[in-house]
Chains A and B, each alone.
Chain A
Amino acid sequence: KKSDRNQPMDVSAGKQEGSLDDSTPTVLSGGVVIDQGTLHAEAVRAEIRARGGDIAQVVLTGSPATLSQQMDDGSRMNAVASKIDYNVTTDTVVFTGKVNIKQPRGTLSGERVVYNMTTGQVTSGGEGNGRVNMRIMPRNAAPAEKNKASGEAETD
């Protein structure tokens, strides 16, 4: 949700190293869980860049790292990737490495996906980033049919 970015970000981890004046990134390890409003992320390791309590960037790595968030329309987005780079300042998330993003309207997978949390815009693939696979669910199909239809309507 857009309002997520104005919520406190709560982070828990097994271990944390950093500097009291944020002059170096804070490194969290030993299993990291991050919650900010409806946003929930889990990873093996995380790096947080902050300045005076204002978080600028969170980089999560894992096998995979996961991130889920509720959209403004109430639906939920679930994403997995080897690396998730959340730029809080620009409200953009870059997923890289075995990316798979699931939303009610469809799924998207590839090697690199850029997701703008403000506009909801998704950009994927591009030079040297492999192919993109996308499956868009028919809008008016009833849920039962939707599942059946999803077996045939495969676009590549």
Chain B
Amino acid sequence: MNWRIPVGIVLLLGAVASGWALLTRMTTGPELRQEIGGRPDYLLNDFELVVLDATGKESFTLRAPRLARDPVLETMDVTTPRFLIPPRQDNADAWEVTSKTGWISADGDELRLRGDVNAVSDGRHSDKVNIDTQELNVFPDADRIDSPVQVTINRPGSILRGNGLDVNLATKQYTLQSEVESSYAR
């Protein structure tokens, strides 16, 4: 039997298979390609990172035991992050924010903190403020923080609890959207 025919068939199947593999690789979304990749492009262990804003001023400092960067989305996942957000103007306070996990957007303008989140102001220019929640989104350049879930705000002489927090860190104006309970004690 002429051997060229089976060899030809095998080669054809090989060509089809590799073509198919190439085709499916090209049409997969970044997530799948990332999962295929799986590994961050770089890891930092026990580091301190100072992030600057567009004007070169310090936006925030981040200290953590581990940071992994996603090569495709260019976002960063951080373990037990500790963010130090400097005061924006003279009479404002600095804030320190900690949580179990953190996520930083590609251009560093949004931080998502999840799990035992605590934000505390240094009380240098006004009463010390302590904010506790399970979810907090921080927008350093916009000087804003918000949270969709329950938040507790402790200040000297008052405890405030509610859902849907939105705070402007520069003006210190806040809004709690629902289920607000507060207690003022001498």
Q: Interface on A for B, CB 8 Å cutoff?
A: 6, 8-24, 28, 30, 48, 50, 52-55
Contact = CB atoms under 8 A, between A and B. Distances in A.
Nearest to B121: A20
Q: B interface, how many residues as a size bin?
A: 20 to 34
A19 B175 contact: no
Contacts of B158: 50, 53
Q: In terms of DSSP, what is the predominant structure of the interface of chain A?
A: strand
Nearest to A6: B186
20 contacts: A8-B184, A9-B183, A10-B181, A10-B182, A11-B180, A12-B182, A14-B178, A15-B177, A16-B176, A16-B180, A18-B173, A19-B173, A19-B174, A20-B129, A20-B172, A21-B172, A50-B158, A52-B156, A53-B155, A54-B157
A15 B180 contact: yes
A54 B157 CA distance: 7
Given A17-B173, A53-B184, 4 more contacts: A11-B183, A14-B179, A14-B180, A20-B127
B162 A16 contact: yes
A8 B174 CA distance: 22
A53 B176 CA distance: 18
B175 A17 contact: yes
A52 B123 CA distance: 12
A132 to B, nearest CB: 34
B173 A11 contact: no
Q: Which of A12, A20, A30, A50 has the most B CB atoms < 10 Å from its CB? A: A20
A48 B157 CA distance: 14
A16 B153 CA distance: 12
Q: In terms of DSSP, what is the predominant structure of the interface of chain B?
A: strand
Interface of B: 121, 126-127, 129, 153, 155-158, 160, 162, 167, 171-186
A14 B185 CA distance: 21
Given A16-B160, A53-B156, A53-B185, A21 B127 contact: yes
B172 A23 contact: yes
A133 B157 CA distance: 41
Contacts of A24: 173
Contacts of B184: 8-9, 11, 48, 50, 53-55
B181 A11 contact: yes
Contacts of B121: 20
